[in-house]
Structure formats: structure tokens, C-alpha cells
Amino acid sequence: MLKAVTFTSAKTQILLMRMDTLEELNRKGFIDEPINPTLDLFAEIEKLKKEKNAIILAHYYQEPDIQDVADYIGDSLGLSQEAAKTEADIIVFAGVHFMAETAKILSPNKTVLLPDLKAGCSLADSCPPHLFIKFKEKYPNHLVITYVNCTAELKALSDIVCTSTNAVQIVESLPKDQKIIFGPDKNLGAWVAKKTGRDLVLWNGACMVHEIFSREKITKLKQRHPNAEFIAHPECEEAVLQMADYIGSTTGLLKYSSSSDATEFIVATESGIIHQMEKANPHKTFIPAPPNNNCACNDCPYMKRNTLEKLYLCIKNGLPEVNVPAEIINQARIPIERMLEISAKLGL
């Protein structure tokens, strides 16, 4: 029996193929098509970037190959600043979904692509907007500061967004008697409260990667490397932060590892940052802090969903694309821009 498709026009066939692709995208989250194994993906990606006037923004937690092909590598603050000012037509976001959403909010007229739509975030998932609305209602007269690691919908419910680079300064920029709700990360919130001496109302959310560092295993590692400095991201639990010689955002940790005289570091954050630390300090040694489970690594499973192959197929096909409803863009843009303004004033 002849298939109906035999009689369709070339235009319809392209449309049907596109619909198949979109259906598969929704199911798998990424374009899954064979790649010629002899292709030099680095060179192909460079070629596609020029052809399409595309820019690749990559988070420090991406795999080294992706970091090496990116136009800009940074943490959430740097990536937001870059997304706001780029003149490229297409932003390919090698990171997780909320980051691509932030780029879309800041550059709504640009196409924002994400190599794998299922690159989510346990921290963003830990704060469903409908529950946060009820939480907010319990604390009238409170200003809402949300960590950038949350959904666009949650940002739309906020007064100011922050990152781990500027959270302390943003809280300090507010009048002392201002009541504040801080979400979704309870560990970052507790650290900010301690640093600023403010009494923050915390949402009970956390990041699965930063919550699993083992105090006991870190103690043993420190005994084996007595000269190593222990550096940690403020999303880690209080018990782990208490052991740290330095606490800071991903960029803060990178800078500190270069400026410190120490030559050995135990690093408590997602292990992807170690690639940049080693590049900047080839004579120093970086040891990933051990997690509190049987797994040997502390990789973020969401960040690591992106691969060089998915990135190549994403630029080549112009899919998957991340879109945010116009109403959410209009509301979420205000607290993000407040953060960018405060950061610019503070020179961050």
C-alpha cells in the first residue's frame, strides 16, 4: 500500500518532517540524529557560529569540550550580563533551562537555544511557583529576593533577583528594617543572613549537588593533604561551610584559586569549574571534594546532559528553542534588571 506521504508536496513533506522532529524533541529533549564520526565538531561549530551569527554562552559547570568552544564562559551573573549585551542573532546557551530563560527574558527578540531541554535544575524544581505564592502571602510587607537559579515564573514573583556573587551586597543595599523573603536556596540564604546579620525568611529549597558534600570525607581528605586550602560554594550546607578557608561564588572560587599562595585546593562545588582553575593555574593541584554517597564525582546531572554533539546539532538545526510567555518576560525582567543595575553600581 502506498503511503499518503508519497503524494504530498515537498513543502508538506518538510512540514511533516519538522513535526516529527518537534515531537521527538518534546520526548527526548534534544535533536537525535547521526553525526559523521569523521567530522571535526570544533571546526564545524565555529563555522556554524559565523554563518548564523550565533554566540555560545557556557556555564563553568559544562564539560571541558563545551567550555573550549564557547565565546563566553562564566557563572550566572556574568552569563546574564553577557546575554543582555550581545549583538548576536542567536544565543546558544550551554547551561540549564533557567539560564536560557534568563537570556530570553533579557534578549526577548533573539533566538535562544538550549542543546537539551531536559537540562533542568533540582534547586529550581524545589520551588514550585504556586506554593511560593502561598508562602509569600504568609509574609506581607516582605520584599522578595530570589536566587537566579529558579524558573522564569518565580522571577516574575520577585522584587530583586540575585546570584551568589552579589547576594550579600544586594541584601546590604536595602534599608536595615526592610523585611526580606529569600529563596529558593536555604543554604545560600542562611550564609547571606550570617554575613549580613539580617533575619531572612528562607524558602526550604536546595541544590542536589551542593547538598551532598561529606564533612567526614572532606576531613579525611584534608588530613591527607594538610597544605591544601578547602574552598566552597555558599550553596553547600552550613556544616561544610564551617570547614572552608574561603567561601564564594563560582567566579569567586576561580579568582581565589589564582590569587592564593596555596598550591593545592579541595574544591566543594560542581567539578566542571576545575577545568578553568587548571587552565589558569597549571602549576596548582585541584581536588574535587568528595560527595556523601557512593558516587565518586560531584557532577551536576542536569548540566552534564549537554554534550558537544548535542551542541553541534542544536546550532545546525536551530533547535531546541527556549521561549518564555510575553507576560512573564515583562514581569521577570524588572527584578533581573534591578540586580544588573545594583551589580553595575557596585562594580561586580
Q: Which residues bind ligand SF4 (CB under 6 A)?
A: 96, 121-123, 149, 207-209, 270, 300, 302-303
DSSP 67-89: HHH-SEEE-HHHHHHHHHH---S
Output 247 or 303, the one with its CB closest to ligand SF4: 303
Choose between 48 and 339: whose C-beta lies nearer to ligand SF4.
339
Q: In the complex, what is the shortest distance from the CB of residue 163 to ligand SF4, in angstroms, rounded to a whole number?
A: 11
Q: How far apart are CB 89 and ligand SF4 at their closest, in Å?
A: 26
**Residue 201: is it exposed, middle or buried by C-beta count within 10 angstroms (0-12/13-18/19+)?**
middle
Strand order across the 160-162 sheet: 160-162, 142-147, 179-183, 201-202
Choose between 49 and 59: whose C-beta lies nearer to ligand SF4.
Answer: 59
- 209 closest CA partner among 144, 118, 273: 273
Strands 54-59 and 90-94: parallel
**Sign of torsion, CA 164 295 304 287?**
positive
CB of 190 to ligand SF4, least distance (A): 16
Tell the smallest beta-carbon distance from residue 208 to ligand SF4 (Å).
Answer: 5
First to last CA, the chain: 67
| Residue among 181 and 188 whose Cβ is closer to ligand SF4 | 188
Closer by beta carbon to ligand SF4, 187 or else 343: 187
β-pair partners for 55: 91
Specify the residue, 301 or 325, whose C-beta has the smaller distance to ligand SF4.
301
Nearest distance, CB of residue 318 and ligand SF4, angstroms: 24
CB atoms within 10 A of CB 253: 25
Q: How far is the CB of 153 from ligand SF4 (least distance, A)?
A: 16
